[in-house]
Structure 1
């Protein structure tokens, strides 16, 4: 179904402004879903706004779709402002063909919501890939989101994202809760997004997954939309090295130092810290420069965060996880419960290339990194040379509070000939099983030959 819908959507490519294309397609797919599921689903669809009404009435098809979108939003307050009304000004012939094709898809039965969720996530990934760098404004690679969620384990409480994009962090948090036999209302999501079109994507994405959330559209630095929020978990992928941002040097959020005007990295980190409750924890995607930069006071801010015991873990990620940017990335994990040690994880050699330009973290990779973090929190941690190590404040001070994991984890344990021990074990195991298979083959050959001699 996903591939069929994507091919159908391609009918409009070239006749719709590239900036509106994803809103256009996702809006139509969503309208078809709510129309199919209105009998027993979560949304009300007024008469005249159902899918079958779109082609039955006279006049412009685009105008009827805009009217249907408006009617559905009025009937469902959580959708207010989320659905696009941009259909009257496009090629009506191509629009008619697309409506006809989408009309052949049925979102019915108990699994309708799950099917739509898969379609929606598939489309978001496809649009992000097609848009390249601009796609990164609304989309975080799924394997990175899963890693954040598996480490933080947001079972219950308030989940916040100050730059929520299309809402992928919230969707993955919901999946984590449900996979651990929780309920949707075990978490309450709060988000903010400055880009209005991206905010609409997030609203629609939460509606698709039936997640109730408080999503606001405004600039987080200029107008914090959740001033009293104290979150249990923060998951965020802020824009890397953002230079054009609203900066008030007197802002009370800058407890650990005023961030430089030319880079908002430490503004995001301090804003997130200001949102954490007494036992709150956060996972933040950052550009690698945040771990070592000393420009414009950034080194001093980083040192203050470490000395306050707020940094619990640093993860260096492999390259090419983010199709939208070549900038190397890392993960910061922050914890309101003060700690005198930091766990460093070097995951740069992990991941699997899925094509010539993009890498993903496998489920085994995610489990290994998350396992190191959990064992550290549970006091059962054991350092693994070349992969992870827990370092105390004195050692971090000796490195001028630079937090690059490669400085701390050391080299992987190697065999006498210099081959990494893990690689050597894996290679020898494969060779051993190959010898077993060859031995079994030769055994069959000998038995066959003996059988012929007996005959």
Structure 2
């Protein structure tokens, strides 16, 4: 193992940048170069560091237990630990739990966490979180995850009456998005659990999952929906949404903040225009979220949560808006942010009288020049004895 680590440490940072999670970055590199586990069918992509930082900054997993049911190389855990350390916290106060289906990636995650001294329990084997939940009956303070997008082939007949969706509806066999949601929800602590995870945008309004989505909203499990910019992932340009679930949206103290009662409200945020930070040196367009943007997004979310905020008037057009459950019901339980965030018709801002006067002057000048050109053409033909009057 020492020889392997020595070789990894020889890799030039010119190729990978100044990344602390270098092993995970090497994994990302091979995903990009060889498309290992990154086909559209698999839907599995290494989570960019800035996206992990966004999730962690929003849900603040500073202490307690943190779970990832599809943990990959452990990047979610590494970035969360670094966030805790940056806040002068103690990573020994975080206990990490995870599960990974791919044997090679499972071994990589265990090595990645061990090297950083992060206490972890990834189970004794690599296996599917659906078919063999290695942490059955365990409830966690926080969940952070980037499940494979639109995963097929997840279902088995043994899952027909699984207790994870007993209170909802069995998720469709053709797509695991809502199976992941219900799996994670089943592992959150009943009164304090918070989850932040990524899903493809299709999950916001799938017709075959409307009953599950309706119950999630009615049971007040969904706290925030944040649409992210495209091109955040190196290996795909699929459009992605960050979901935040919260088991308790009532007024309480959370990490020193006094939260207001947010029952029957959901915060929608649209970050699709945050594309001004291109990543250099990539063969395809890729953007990242910088620390200022991450802090801005987290501040919008935290301010919405905090005492003193009026959720019924919390909005900035084309950016974010707090919405009550009644409006969501009227939109047939859709969670697409564009149905709720106001978009401005910028044409209405035009001063038509002034604009038409400007156009009039321009057209008068054009017509004047046209008459001058016509006269010059007539004079030229007349000069050679071929008048064209």
Give me the TM-score of the superposition, normalised by structure 1.
0.65
Structure 1 regions of 5+ residues with no counterpart? 1-25, 33-97, 106-114, 420-455
What is the correspondence of 1:175-214 to structure 2 with a 5 Å cutoff?
Answer: 175-214=82-121
Compared CA separation, residues 412 and 28, structure 1 to 2 (3 A): farther
* Aligned partners of 1:235 and 1:283 also within 8 Å: yes
Root-mean-square deviation (CA, aligned residues, Å) is 2.5
Structure 2 Cα separation of the partners of residues 127 and 189 of structure 1? 26
Q: Is the 8 A contact 1:177 1:183 kept in 2?
A: yes
Pick closer, same or farther for the CA change 1:308–1:249 going to 2, 3 Å.
Answer: same
Out of 365, 377, 381, the position equivalent to 2:293 is 365
- 8 Å CA contact 1:283–1:333 kept in 2: the answer is yes
The Cα offsets for residues 247-295 of structure 1, whole Å up to 9 and x where unpaired, read as 4120010022110111110000000000000200000100100001112
Task: Give the alignment of 1:37-76 within 5 angstroms.
Answer: none
Aligned partner of residue 226 in structure 2, secondary structure: strand
Cα distance between partner residues in 1 of 2:19 and 2:236: 29
**SS of equivalent residue, structure 2 residue 193:** strand
In structure 2, the residue matched to 1:320 is 231
Secondary structure of residue in 2 paired with 1:134? coil
Q: Which residue of 1 aligns with 2:155?
A: 246
The answer as to whether partners of 2:44 and 2:149 remain within 8 angstroms in 1 is no
Q: Which position in structure 2 is the counterpart of 1:400? A: 332
Query: What is the 5 A alignment of 1:262-411?
Result: 262-277=174-189, 278-295=191-208, 298-338=209-249, 339-351=263-275, 352-355=277-280, 356-379=284-307, 380=309, 382-411=314-343
Distance 1:393 1:221 in 2: 30
- The aligned runs of 1:424-443 (5 Å cut-off) are none
Offset of 1:27 from its aligned partner?
Answer: 7.1
Separation in structure 2 between the aligned mates of residue 289 and residue 119 of structure 1, nearest angstrom: 32
Residues 415 and 185 from structure 1, CA distance in 2 versus in 1: closer, same or farther, beyond 3 angstroms? farther
Q: Is the Cα contact below 8 Å between 1:386 and 1:413 reproduced in 2?
A: no
> Larger RCO: Structure 1 or Structure 2 (Cα < 8 Å, ≥ 6 residues apart)?
2
1:174/1:284 CA distance change after superposition, 3 Å: same
SS at match of 2:301: helix
SS of residue paired to 2:67: strand
- Whether 1:125 aligns to 2:125 is no
Mapped to 2, the partners of 1:299 and 1:314 lie a distance apart of: 16
Distance, in Å, in 2 between the alignment partners of 1:324 and 1:257 is 33
Structure 2, unpaired ranges of 5+: 13-17, 250-262, 352-389
Q: Partners of 2:66 and 2:34 in 1: how far apart? A: 28
**3-state DSSP of counterpart to 1:270:** helix
Provide closer, same or farther for how the CA distance between residues 418 and 235 of structure 1 changes in structure 2, counting only shifts above 3 A: farther
Displacement of 1:321 in angstroms is 1.0
CA distance in 1, matches of 2:105, 2:248: 34
The alpha-carbon distance between structure 1 residues 284 and 208, as it changes in their structure 2 partners (threshold 3 A), is same
Specify the SS of the correspondent of 2:150.
Answer: coil
Q: Secondary structure at the match of 1:400?
A: coil
Answering whether residue 127 of structure 2 is matched by residue 218 of structure 1, we say yes
- Taking the TM superposition and a 5 Å limit, the aligned residue runs for 1:32-111 are 32=6
| Counterpart Cα distance in 1 of 2:36 and 2:238 | 11
Could you tell me the TM-score, scaled by structure 2's length? 0.75
Structure richer in helix, relative to its length: 1
The superposition leaves residues 286-339 of structure 1 with CA deviations (integer Å, 9 ceiling, x where unpaired) of 0100001112xx011111100110000001111111222232110110000142
Aligned length: 315
